[in-house]
Amino acid sequence: MGNRPLRVFGIGLQDHWLSHWVSCPDVQIIGVVDIYQEAGAHFTNIPQFEDIPSTLQLLRPDLVTMVTPPHEKTCPDTIRTVLECGYDVFLEKFRPRSWEDGATLSALCRSTGRQVSIGESYRFDKIVEKAKLVIQSGRLGKLEQIAWRCQRPNIQASWMNAYEHVMLEDLTYHHLGVLHYLLGAERFNQVYATSVLPSWSMEQSPSVVSLIAQGQEGLQLNYYASWAAHGGGAVTSWLGEFQIDGSEGTLQLCDDTLKFINREGQEEVLSPCESDGFELRAGIVNEYIDAFQNGRKSSLNIFAFQPVIRMIQAALESVKTGKPVDI
């Protein structure tokens, strides 16, 4: 590429995503395609196109990124088109029509030799990075019990109704993505889940999830998340709070403070990792750019994310059947 900027082509016009690319000094958005009919909201100064194959042939971008609005679904046919044109696809987030689309996209990656990468922003939180280092150090000993809780306020947002189970498919997606990053979701082999709609919810998609997952060597996850919490002290951050108990101690995130607690109950407050300026969605963009520039597969590629997809699929099946489901 020499000294020229990274030439990026965008599919979708969501400001919360494209703004991170635009703000990168060595990136140029050379064109976008408005497949979700969002024109007029942002980025009117960027050239807009309609036909993806002819546009890719004309512009020859370095990298293709795609963002799906909250009320829409990630289009696998669009991704297929880009892959078959010889480009990787870097997604802001996976919003599938069906969670079986994960297997479909994986098969497309194998057949085309290209990659699809799935953004998960919470793993780029510096508290999460610190928790990862503690777990990797072995300081907790054998991991056995995990408790996770997230409570977000009851809100009016019509996009929620585009989901059959909004909490489980949208916000739990992030929490399980973080859990996968910390210790590997593939370690769980069975899940039992419920997804309910409280009578006071402002929208119609079930927004309270309870989930128990059993894992290898006695590992167990107890997870509770609500998007219909009454205000005040009941509300947590988007990441939520967690406690990971091992044979040698506990890692606890509570009130945005991370602590290590040893077997004698002594507490040590742990500072988040030092910020490098790339957190949350900016962290995803930085990872994608670094992967491209270094000719490597992104750590967020769909094959690496499959354990999270399978866990959500199993949880949805459990909600439907009322029974535990093997992952």
Which pLDDT tens digit goes with each residue over 79-114?
A: 999 999 999 999 999 999 999 999 999 999 999 999
Task: Clarify whether residues 134 and 114 are in a common domain.
Answer: no
Q: Which residues contact 119 (CB under 8 A, 6 or more apart)?
A: 90, 91, 92, 93, 94, 281, 284, 300
Average confidence score pLDDT of the chain: 95
Flag whether 285 is in a domain.
Answer: no
CA angle 292, 5, 29 (to 5 degrees): 85
- CATH code for position 88: 3.40.50.720
Task: Clarify whether residues 80 and 177 are in a common domain.
Answer: no
pLDDT score for 2 = 62
Flag whether 92 is in a domain.
Answer: yes
Flag whether 154 is in a domain.
Answer: yes
- At 91, the amino acid letter reads L
Is the pLDDT confidence value at 229 over 80?
A: yes
Flag whether 292 is in a domain.
Answer: no
Range of the domain at 33: 6-118
Q: What is the pLDDT of residues 28-68, one digit of tens each?
A: 999 999 999 886 656 778 999 999 999 999 999 999 999 99
Task: Clarify whether residues 19 and 91 are in a common domain.
Answer: yes
**Cβ atoms within 10 Å of 8's Cβ, excluding its own:** 26
Task: Clarify whether residues 134 and 267 are in a common domain.
Answer: yes
Mean of pLDDT values over 276-285 = 93
Flag whether 78 is in a domain.
Answer: yes
- CATH code for position 160: 3.30.360.10
Q: What phi-psi label fits residue 196: left (phi over 0), alpha (psi between -120 and 50 degrees) or beta?
A: beta
Q: Which residue, of 103, 118, 133, is where some domain finishes?
A: 118
Flag whether 79 is in a domain.
Answer: yes
Q: What is the pLDDT of residues 129-142, one digit of tens each?
A: 999 999 999 999 99
Expressed in angstroms, the distance from the first to the final Cα of the chain is 43
Determine contact, residues 103/153, Cβ cutoff 8 Å: no
Task: Clarify whether residues 241 and 146 are in a common domain.
Answer: yes
The pTM of the full predicted model, rounded to 2 decimals, is 0.95
Determine contact, residues 246/143, Cβ cutoff 8 Å: yes
Q: What is the pLDDT of residues 290-311, one digit of tens each?
A: 999 999 999 999 999 999 999 9
Task: Clarify whether residues 148 and 13 are in a common domain.
Answer: no
Q: Which residue, of 118, 146, 178, is where some domain finishes?
A: 118
pLDDT score for 234 = 81
Report the number of distinct structural domains present in the chain: 2
